[in-house]
Amino acid sequence: MRLSQLKFLVELKKYGTISKTAQNLYISQPSLSTAIKELEEELGFDIIERSNKGVAFTKRGDMVLKYSQDIMDAVNSIERMGKLQTRVRKGYLSIASIPYIFTTIVMDAFMELKDRYPDLTTSLREENSYNMVELVANKEIDLGVVMISNLEELNFQQVFEKYNMQFYKLFDDQMYFVVGRKNPLFGRKAATMAELLQYPFVTRRNFLNQYNINMLQQYNREIEFIQIDDSDGLIKYLINSHGVCVMPTCSFWKTSHKVGEHLHAVQIKDFVWTTKLGWIFPKNEHYSVELEEFVELLEENYMNMKMI
């Protein structure tokens, strides 16, 4: 088993066909096919099913793909260590983050870094994931902490490729619907999408995009969208209305509005909604010492939070 074979599987999932994958990897189609066939022979089962429409992963192949993705994420992290610049103080560091972990592990890492380098000029702000890609590419921020749901993963891959951006996964998370005490679903362990979306969908303004809207309208064409700019305002609205909101589990870390007291998380019965959280940084560029330390603090804070 070779690392290149695992990389080929990850890329094949991204591009969907042998020809497109080979083209983007700058290798020949026969070489790619042979590498995957050799891996299948070594494992003793088929990883993919080939047809005129492209390829599809088998059930066992999906398991191999998942492990391959985890391994390649780890390899990317190791490679990132090799990009560390010499210990020259940059003097300025700008970071942006999605709201969900802004006040927890991101803010904690940011404050710890500031304590280490009190003379370092720093900037930290909230942004949505799509905006951060352009901001990092245009050098307006040094690093962006983003969230990629399974609804948008393919589109994000294309955006990252367009802007020559690398995504480094920090952790996987599950999306839940959140309701306040006034909502009839408060206290329910799980509900269907149709049950949940009969109520107004409340969200941060920068969360909604056409991918989310299209999916939600499949369950309720007349769904009402209520967009609120401020996180505290969104929570207050949920507590005092029938509205529903979707959030990752990490939203409840250290929250002042405890789930079970004012808010309740409802599992989705008939829809798989997951997400990945991590950071983006330009491919083939070097981290400053301060930025490398921020990433390490981010990883440490997540592990500490995970153990609570």
pLDDT class of 40 with cuts at 50, 70, 90: very high
Percent of the chain exceeding pLDDT 90 equals 55
Above 80 in pLDDT, residue 260?
Answer: no
- CATH number of this structure's domain 92-171+275-307: 3.40.190.10
- State the Cα–Cα distance between residues 178 and 277, nearest whole angstrom: 19
**pLDDT tens column, 171-221:** 999 999 999 999 999 999 999 999 999 999 999 877 777 778 888 999 999
- Start-end of CATH 1.10.10.10 domains in the chain: 3-81
pLDDT class of 88 with cuts at 50, 70, 90: very low
Residue 213 CA: distances (Å) to CA of 8, 216, 218: 33, 5, 9
Mean pLDDT score across all residues of the chain = 87
Above 60 in pLDDT, residue 145?
Answer: yes
Residue 244: its pLDDT value, please? 96
Above 80 in pLDDT, residue 147?
Answer: yes
pLDDT class of 308 with cuts at 50, 70, 90: low
- Start-end of CATH 3.40.190.10 domains in the chain: 92-171+275-307
What top-level class would CATH report for the domain 3-81? Answer: mainly alpha
Above 60 in pLDDT, residue 129?
Answer: yes
**pLDDT tens column, 98-111:** 988 998 899 999 99
**pLDDT tens column, 150-176:** 888 888 888 998 999 999 999 999 999
Residue 256: its pLDDT value, please? 46
- State the Cα–Cα distance between residues 189 and 90, nearest whole angstrom: 49
Q: How many CB atoms lie within 10 A of CB 133?
A: 21
Structure tokens at 56: 């599809």
pLDDT class of 87 with cuts at 50, 70, 90: very low
Tell me 100's DSSP state.
G
- Start-end of CATH 3.40.190.290 domains in the chain: 173-274
- State the Cα–Cα distance between residues 250 and 274, nearest whole angstrom: 12
**Strand-pair partners of 197:** none
Looking at the domain 173-274, which fold is it? D-Maltodextrin-Binding Protein; domain 2 (3.40.190)
How large is the average pLDDT for residues 17-41? 86
Alpha helices in the chain (DSSP H): 3-15, 18-25, 29-43, 59-81, 107-116, 129-137, 153-162, 193-196, 210-217, 231-239, 289-307
- State the Cα–Cα distance between residues 263 and 81, nearest whole angstrom: 41
- State the Cα–Cα distance between residues 244 and 266, nearest whole angstrom: 10
